[in-house]
Structure formats: structure tokens, C-alpha cells
Structure 1
């Protein structure tokens, strides 16, 4: 298996696992911060979409005009590292957040199989403090997603949902 295929398989596995949890939370509850909580599902899903774009596309190739339709600059800023989950009025509707989450993943899975193996050992276009190569960026993406999947799982439990196995 090629390095890119292996990285994409890991990313897709993480996405399937995360989506199985996201799908069990009604979108009407996405903006609810449970008592004692600090986040909501909408922010977690939007953050995963933003991070997948930045880790798997933006660090491997320059932003393209088509990327603006994929994920807007406003969306990227709203869910960026250091952003704080806010009230529903600060965000697009849950269905739109979910569409971006799905759209970014579909683009990554469609575009990256053709990414040149020789470029995977190059530095990412945007540096990251945890790694120094583009393949490492791709390998970090599913780890990052699973961290937020755990937070989604905790939020959904705090909202009264049974565990999903």
C-alpha cells in the first residue's frame, strides 16, 4: 500500500467512526452546551472540517479559487484553533456545518490519491509545530479527528444519549 493510500485509509476510518457518533445527535441539539460542558457538537464538527482542510489540503498545495466554494474563509476563521464555542447565532445552521464537514472530506478523498509521493517528504506549505513533512500532516489529521470524536462522544453522553459502540 502506498503512503498516501495508507494515510487516506486512516483518515477515512476516523471519519466513519466520528460520523457514526455525529449522526446520533439531532441537529436541533448541536448548539447545546451540556451543564458542566464547555463545547457543543456544532463547534466540534466545524472544527474537524476546518482542520481536515488545513491539514490535508492547505498544507499540501496552495488555496485554490474552488476552495472558497468548498470552505469559506469565514468558516475557517469561525472554527480555527483558539476559537471558542459560542451561541447558535454565531454560526451557520447545523445542516450547513455538516455539509462543509462532508464536502471537505469528499474533496480530500477525491483529490489526494493523485498526490505525488515524492512531495510527501517536503515541508508543509504552512508550518506546524508537531511535524515537519506533508505526509506527517496527513498522518496527524485522523489523530486530530479522533481527539475531537472523543469530545463529541462526551458531549452526546452529557446530553443524555447512550454510548455508541
Structure 2
């Protein structure tokens, strides 16, 4: 089942990255009329969530995690945080994208080495299908696709063409 969860996580990331192609830094922080969010927040949130669901929940906090996912970044993009349109109050697009890439790469290093028994351990919400660590991994892919949909909608509101 771990291989299925990893394939789903990677598939969701491919969709997200395709939606980010061709966007300018200005596009990342634009908040179309009526929108409570922007693309930069969506990307930062996905990085934070992948760290939480795929690394922290699987093996707890590690000594290097503060460099991987700094506390200020985690707070800025966690569930319930409010997207800030002022670019000066946010990390740069390059920093957010680098964070997203670095965390995903770490997930691809660590998850394949997880013992199967770890996946059966219980976890709290959010999860999908089963209240286990495997359920958290499965939720990670679904969560990313949900936010990819939001990125896709923001793209369209910014006048960008749909992704084919």
C-alpha cells in the first residue's frame, strides 16, 4: 500500500506543478476580487501539509526539521492562517517553491524506507479511509488535489488558460 500512496502523492504533485507553470511572481500574490487566498499561500500550505502528513506524522520531529520546515513558515501556511496579500510579509515565490521541492524530495527519500508496520499505527484526523498513518499518506494526495483545484480556479480568475 505504501507504493500506492507514494504514486498518488507524486501524481498530485505533477498536477500541482502543471498548474504553476507559466505563472509570474505577481500571479502568485494576486487575490482576484472576492478571493480570500492567493497561489503563494496555496503552495506554502501544500508544502507545510506534506511535511506534516508524510514526515512529521510518520517519524516525529527530527533535529534537522527546523531547517526543512521552519516554525514561522509552518505558522504562516497552516490551516486557519490568513493569506497575506502584501508580498513583503511573505517569503518570496522562489523560497516557497524551494520549500515545496525540498520537502517533497525528503518525502521521496524517507517514505520508501518506512517499515510496513508503521503504516498500521493509529493517527488522528485528517486521514482518509482508515485512522492510521497510511490513511494520513492517502489524505496527503487528496489534500493536494483539493488545493490544486483552488490553484486552477485562481489561474482562471487571473485570466490564464486552462491546463490541458
Does structure 1 residue 133 correspond to structure 2 residue 149? no
Post-superposition Cα deviations, 1:55-76, rounded to whole Å, max 9, x if no partner, equal 1111111111111111101111
Does structure 1 residue 41 correspond to structure 2 residue 39? yes
Residue of structure 2 equivalent to 1:64: 62
Q: How many residues align?
A: 161
TM-score (norm 1): 0.93
Which residue of 3, 6, 19 corresponds with 1:5? 3
- Give 1:89 deviation, angstroms: 2.3
TM-score (norm 2): 0.94
Separation (CA, whole Å) in 1 of partners of 2:11 and 2:144: 10
Does structure 1 residue 75 correspond to structure 2 residue 59? no
Post-superposition Cα deviations, 1:122-158, rounded to whole Å, max 9, x if no partner, equal 013xx22545200000000010000000000000110
Moved over 2 A (4+): none
Separation (CA, whole Å) in 2 of partners of 1:23 and 1:101: 14
- Structure 2 SS opposite 1:38: coil
How well do the aligned residues superpose, as a CA RMSD in angstroms? 1.1
Please list every run of 5 or more consecutive structure 2 residues that lacks an aligned counterpart in the other structure.
none
